Amino acid sequence: MKDEQRRPVRWGRPNGTLGLPKGIFAALRRQQPPIRVAPILVEAASLTSEATYQRLRSRPSGLTRDEAESRLAEQGPNVVAADGRKGVGLLLWHAVINPLVVLLAVLATISFATGDARAGIVMSPMIVLGVGLRLIQESRADTTAAKLKAMISVTAAVLRDGQPQELPVTVLVPGDVVKLAAGDMIPADVRIVAAKDLFVIQGSLTGESFPVEKFETDTGPTGRSPVELANIAFMGTRVESGTAMAVVVATGRETYLGSMAESLAAQSTQTAFDKGVLRFTWLMLRFIIVMVPLVFFINGLTKGNWHDAFFFAVAVAVGLTPEMLPMIVTVCLSKGAMAMARKKVIVKRINAIQNLGAMDVLCTDKTGTLTQDHVILGSHCDVVRKPDPGVLALAYLNSQFQTGLKSLLDRAVLAHAQKAHHHPHMPDYAKVDEIPFDFERRIMSVVVRTPEGKDRIISKGAPEAIFPRCKNFELDGVLSPMEDARIDELRREYEQLSRDGFRVLAIASKDVAPSGEPRYGRDDEKDLILNGYLAFLDPPKDTAAAAIRALEQHGVSVKVVTGDNDLVARKVCSEVGLSVEHVLLGAQIDGMTDDELADAAERTTLFARVSPAHKQRIIHALQSRKHTVGFMGDGINDAPALRAADVGISVDTAVDIAKESADMILLEKSLLVLEEGVLEGRKVFANILKYIGMGASSSFGNMFSVLGASVFVPYLPMLPIQILTNNLLYDVSQTAIPTDEVDAEEIAKPRPWDMGSLAKFILFIGPCSSVFDYTTFLMMLFVFKAWPVEKAPLFQTGWFVESLLTQTLIIHVIRTRKIPFLQSRAS
Amino acid sequence: MTSVIMLVGVLIPITPVGPYLGFTPLPPLYCLLLALTLFAYMLLTQGVKTWLIRRAWL
């Protein structure tokens, strides 16, 4: 069975900051499996119910227990992903298997092996300090992530041996017949075989705020996206209302959701920051590889003592190794993580903090992140879009009296009317009858007895369904006939509402004299009077506009990427203050090459009707243009994008898979915390860069000094043990860096990893220290007459003190762009 | 933190640990020259840094 070959889906990315093996594995990495719908699902969609049963070797009464057991053994459990927490051993391995640590360990071993125990003793604390601190931080982060992933056990109503029973969803197999009711999670990818008013919320897959209808029909293969198949419901979506019988077609990893989870596991993206740190590490290693043999041979040849030359070279190697880098990076990041935790942001992958600071583009999903994911009645108006309390009163009666499951929209009407106190005095009205919703009419009606003793039919439905049943429309209390010429005008009015991003329902009514028989049917839904419209929307969060403004002020441009339609998305964008000048649709993206998409993505602020794969492509396109991209989303459809982004952000209300895929989770509704996080990230980055700038430039400078001194001085310019002591003391002084203050100017704009300016910094600042090393050499040699070999300790001590003092003092100059001590002070 | 380390660095050669690590006490004149060196070094680095920033290389 092919599943056995697949590695378990890993939740949470490796935290490798300097992961050497990551680079190696990246090359071996498999092609990323595409996000796909099982072919059998598409096939089932085009078959009749009977043929679907046949195809799945099942029947309306469900599978027998034996059949189910053998299929379970064959197919595996219906789980999307296995939990794979890293053990301490693996974490230790990640912390140790780092080029710097390995180098240091090798050098320490050599020192011990060759009898230079003192050198070994000085090196050991460097290793322990670096690895230990990192290990503690990472295992803490991993535990937090595991706690977050508390799996909820879910059951489904399954027919086995013809009997309905509640079974855990994990034991479902293809062919099982399940019963779906309002509130149920869809337990697998299923083909609907019988449905009554079934509405499914698949926003977590598609990003749509509104429920979609699913019904038993043979749609046949369509050119449309698979999630739009009307007789298929997908795992991970939820039943909003209605009931249905469905047959399970695909389970576990074969499901759409499963394929998405798999595509997530396959990508372990290395961020710009990871790459930058890695490049820096290798740069330093190259320095060492060139320098150390050179130093060895020069000292061996000039002094003739190869044994001393060897230890001197080893010590120089240790001196050049930025062994504190992993520690500094980890401590800086976890300090940032703790600061974020105080602001109610859980940071799951601490590397992401730095990326949050470097981020210059934030792509965000709409539903649930920018918006409240809570549909409200935005407006109730007459046929020319003038607010009309009469329409709300009718809608209220309709929603209040209907006995079916109250839909999202019904609840929005009731909530709005109760809040506005615009509802009729209920005891005045008595319910007479109800004509429930069905997919043929696509409207529903309630009949009430008015205080005047008339029976009032109140119908509600999509305008296209209501219009043909209307004879007149009402405007300012005057009835006018629905003539063809007028219908176009009326249509333009409600289409304007749709264009404004509202979901529109029409309300129509008529009064009839009560007949003796209080039975009303669909034949009575005719010759109605069109009263007006209800317009629904999913409003933006209160803090969304302010947060977007704050981000843009700090140099982060915000783009909306949503599966919802562009009309709804435009509305939200304009409400939160985003330009909608450049809009791109999913279908347009399909026709673009990656390069064209990258060009377009730079300008576009709104991407609508996009699939999960599109979201991923958009992020890669932006990344190809050297942007550090953040993605904020809460749905299953956001998960691949959350993984692809340099920093994936989710919210507490998000679906599990989105939370799993995210790097950080906002626990509070307010989006303002984003801006604070960005600033926190920039502080972390500035401090890490300080270390790198200092470490690299002083190493570069020392390189010149060591070479020069080796050539001109008749003895070792510094004893190996002195170099190591110098190094250890310098390391200790650097442990203060993570807690250092950062000048406000440094965090005003995103600071991407810029190897060029780093190189220039090293190239120019490094030699400055060499200049004064040389003046010290001259001073020791000529002022203090240190030429003879017996005066070596004087020379060595002189250089040791000068070297250590210049290195530590220069921290103050490098840590700020301003004048040290006077304008900017260290912590 | 930096001042502590600098103090340790200056003191090591004259403490009992000094000879063990191959150090020898430094003459008083050295201290004066060292102070000069450090001051000049800071000035130079600050100058180079400002120059780099002005050329927008940082």
Contacts of A763 in chain B (CB under 8 A): none
Interatomic CA distance for residues A433 and A103, integer angstroms = 83
Q: Of A318, A304, A323, A251, which Cα lies nearest the Cα of A80?
A: A251
Gap between the Cα atoms of A614 and A207, Å rounded: 13
> Is A761 at the interface with chain B, CB within 8 A?
yes
CB contact under 8 A, A772 and B41: yes
Which residues of chain A does B8 touch, with a Cβ-Cβ cutoff of 8 Å? 729
| Residues of B in Cβ contact (< 8 Å) with A799 | none
Closest CA relative to residue A501, chosen from A717, A208, A819, A790: A208
Task: Name the catalytic one among A365, A373, A566, A656.
Answer: A365
Question: Which tens digits make up the pLDDT trace of A587-645?
Answer: 888 888 889 999 999 999 999 888 877 888 899 899 888 888 999 988 777 877 888 88
- In whole angstroms, give the CA distance from residue A633 to residue A609: 15
User: What is residue A531's predicted lDDT score, i.e. its pLDDT?
Assistant: 93
Its pTM stands at: 0.68
Give residue-wise pLDDT tens across range A747-767: 777 776 677 777 777 788 888
A806: how many CB neighbours lie within 10 A of its CB?
23
A817 or A542, which is more confident? A542
Please state, in angstroms and rounded to a whole number, the distance separating the CA atoms of residues B23 and A623.
Answer: 54
Q: Does A735 touch chain B (CB under 8 A)?
A: yes
Helix (H) / strand (E) containing A607: strand A606-608
Q: Which residues of B touch A736 (CB under 8 A)?
A: 1-2
The pairs formed by A706-710 with CB atoms below 8 angstroms and a separation of 24 or more are A706/A291, A706/A295, A706/A316, A707/A291, A707/A294, A707/A295, A707/A298, A708/A770, A708/A773, A708/A774, A708/A777, A709/A773, A709/A777, A709/A799, A710/A295, A710/A298, A710/A299, A710/A302
Domains in chain A, please, with CATH?
A: 40-77+154-261 (2.70.150.10), 88-144+269-339+678-814 (1.20.1110.10), 345-373+541-667 (3.40.50.1000), 376-537 (3.40.1110.10)
A365 is an active site residue = yes
ipTM of the prediction: 0.87
User: Among A311, A325, A327, A331, which Cα is nearest to A283's?
Assistant: A325
CB contact under 8 A, B22 and A793: yes
Mean pLDDT of chain A: 79
pLDDT higher than 80, residue A11: no
> For residues A536 and A415, is the Cβ–Cβ distance under 8 A?
no
Sign (positive/negative) of CA torsion A784, A789, A792, A793? negative
Which structure tokens are listed for A394?
A: 């009718």
Residues sharing a CB contact under 8 Å with residue A246, sequence separation 6 or more, in sequence order: A177, A178, A180, A190, A191, A192, A193, A233
How far apart (Å, rounded) are the C-alpha atoms in residues A678 and A510? Answer: 58
A771: confidence class by pLDDT, cuts 50, 70, 90 = confident
Q: Is A592 on the interface with B (CB under 8 A)?
A: no
Pairing label, strands A345-347, A238-250:
unpaired
CA distance A805 to chain B (A): 6
Q: A238: Cβ–Cβ under 8 A, 6 or more apart, which residues?
A: A183, A184, A185, A186, A200, A201, A204
pLDDT(B23) > 80: no
A560/B contact by beta carbon, under 8 A: no
Looking at the predicted structure, is the pLDDT value of residue A579 above 80? yes
Which residue in the set A735, A760, A768 is minimally distant from B44, CB to CB?
Answer: A768
Residues paired with A447 in a beta bridge? A433, A457
DSSP A734-755: HTTGGG----GGGGSS-----H
- CA A533 – CA A625 distance, rounded (Å): 46
Of residues A142 and A288, which shows the higher confidence score? A288
